[in-house]
Amino acid sequence: MVVMKFGGTSVQDATAIERVAEIVRSRHDQHPVVVVSAFAKVTDQLVLMGQQAVAGDCDAALQLLGMLQKRHFDTAQQLLGAAEGRKINGKLEATFAHADAFLRGLAAIRELSPRSSDQLLSFGELLSSEIVAAALAVRGLDTVWVDSRKCIVTNARYTQALPLAEETRKQTQDKLGAIIAKSKIPVMGGFIAATAEGVTTTLGRGGSDFSAAIVGAALDADSIEIWTDVEGMMTADPRLCPDARTIREISFNEAAELAYFGAKVLHPATLLPAIQQDIPVFVLNSGNLKSKGTRITARAPRSRDTFRAITAKTGVSLVNVVASRGVMVHGFLRSVFEALDRYAASVDLVAISEVSMSFTMDSKRLPTALISELERIADVTCEGQQAIVCLVGEDIHGKPGIAASVFDAVAAAEVNIRMISQGASEINISFVIQENDVPKAVRQLHARFFSPAVVAQAAAASGKRTGKIRKATR
């Protein structure tokens, strides 16, 4: 059994949904379960409508809802034609009528609680899943629309709900088991769920990946496929580095490290339910049916290259805090950390000596009041427009000389390193450079540590790794 999740861009219009039908057809023998996001941008628009309604501009909210309605009906019409479309028109109309009443209600009470926000945002996935289920059916796939709120049971932490494993497993198996047993294909919305009492919840923005992992874990799936608009995870950002290529296999820890330091494809934390059960997750490109994508597993085989990937996170500030002369060194670090704690500052990298500490933070999240407070106990310099470059790879563990060759490559690019950190996890080496040095540093590092794409692809095609991928997909 394979859980196939399609993100917003993979279902953004009729053409994209046609492709989804082809992709699902290609997995027909593997008992697919389809999970879809709202059409691209729809969730953002629902958020905006909620804000408009609460601000008292009900007309603006309803106007936007009208555009959303047109987009969904147009897409349905293109995919289904008039006759077939009629079968789901009633359901779509009911959802829009509900949304209309809901927005008017928000405008009347001028209040949007987390609980009502979840109700409002759920419309996106309810609509997209209905349309996709019908579109696939018209193309000869025996689909059944499933209400995700009857499968995934969560706590009542609205906007960020967490699944209750036991209940979810039972409900999901009850609901989907019978459908799959008849070789039918369940189609459901991602992101949305409900409490045990049946109140709608959401799993946090971008939560459809989480839904796929939850459903996959509940059904003991053989694999989970996350279909998106990029060719899996890459060895580097292809906009920075034309030589970047798709990573064939990566461990969950490596993927998590990459996401943290800038890679935006998916948030691996959401894959945890699957990884804990050893279900492999594939990230695939819905624009390319032949895409092999990236396979994420608890433990990935050794990579041919020293590292698995390079990422760069820009928009970072580097703060150096040096104990003022004459100030007692004792207690210095504690005062700095206490200040960070008071501002709930989330720092990325830290380097410490007896009398100084350097740390980096996202510039947008660095409070000026924190700097002023630190200035009272130390000499502080703060520089913006810095970047963290991070090289990730589990194989670097315990290998001597790697740091030296990394810094040698950076020196060859004539880039100055401002701060260095090699984490205790020993799966990454990170350092800080100026933002505008990022492209040349990344290109130089990629050339040094990654073999050219052609060679790697040929090796993958002839090697046993490809065979393994195929087997695991079954």
Nearest distance in Å: CB 269, Mg ion:
13
Place of tokens 């804000």: 51
Residue 48 near residue 20 (C-beta atoms within 8 A): no
358 binds ligand ASP (CB under 6 A): no
Rg (CA), the chain: 25
Residue 159 structure tokens: 């906007």
Return d(Cα 11, Cα 18) in angstroms, integer. Answer: 9
| 38 binds, options Mg ion, ligand ASP, none, Cβ within 5 to 8 A by partner type | ligand ASP
Of 190 and 293, the one with the shorter C-beta distance to ligand ASP is 190
Contact window for Mg ion (CB under 5 A) among 1-9, 134-142, 362-370, 374-382: 1-9
Return d(Cα 120, Cα 114) in angstroms, integer. Answer: 10
39 binds ligand ASP (CB under 6 A): no
| 9 binds, options Mg ion, ligand ASP, none, Cβ within 5 to 8 A by partner type | none
71 binds ligand ASP (CB under 6 A): no
Q: What is the DSSP string of 256-320?
A: HHHHHTT--S--GGGGHHHHHTT--EEEEETT-TT---EEEESSPPPPSSS-SEEEEEEEEEEEE
Q: By CB under 6 A, how many residues form the interface with ligand ASP? A: 12
Residue 107 near residue 56 (C-beta atoms within 8 A): yes
Of 7 and 268, the one with the shorter C-beta distance to Mg ion is 7
Residue 161 near residue 201 (C-beta atoms within 8 A): yes
129 binds ligand ASP (CB under 6 A): no
338: helix, strand or coil: helix
| Closest among 100, 148, 123, 101 to 47, alpha carbons compared | 123
Nearest distance in Å: CB 264, Mg ion:
9
Q: Please list every residue from 195 through 214 that binds ligand ASP, using CB under 6 A.
A: 205-208
Contact window for Mg ion (CB under 5 A) among 136-144, 203-211, 218-226, 426-434: 203-211
Of 114 and 206, the one with the shorter C-beta distance to Mg ion is 206
Of 43 and 117, the one with the shorter C-beta distance to ligand ASP is 43
Residue 138 near residue 181 (C-beta atoms within 8 A): no
Of 192 and 442, the one with the shorter C-beta distance to ligand ASP is 192
**Number of continuous H segments (helices) and E segments (strands) in the chain:** 14, 17
Report the residue from 96, 145, 191, 260 that binds ligand ASP according to the rule CB under 6 A. 191
Which spans in 27-113 are helix H?
A: 42-54, 58-109
8 binds ligand ASP (CB under 6 A): yes
DSSP code at position 37? P
Return d(Cα 42, Cα 63) in angstroms, integer. Answer: 14
| 186 binds, options ligand ASP, Mg ion, none, Cβ within 5 to 8 A by partner type | none
Nearest distance in Å: CB 283, ligand ASP:
14
Of 7 and 189, the one with the shorter C-beta distance to Mg ion is 7
Q: By CB under 5 A, how many residues form the interface with Mg ion? A: 2
206 binds Mg ion (CB under 5 A): yes
Q: Interface residues with ligand ASP (CB under 6 A)?
A: 7-8, 37-38, 43, 124, 190-191, 205-208
Q: Interface residues with Mg ion (CB under 5 A)?
A: 7, 206
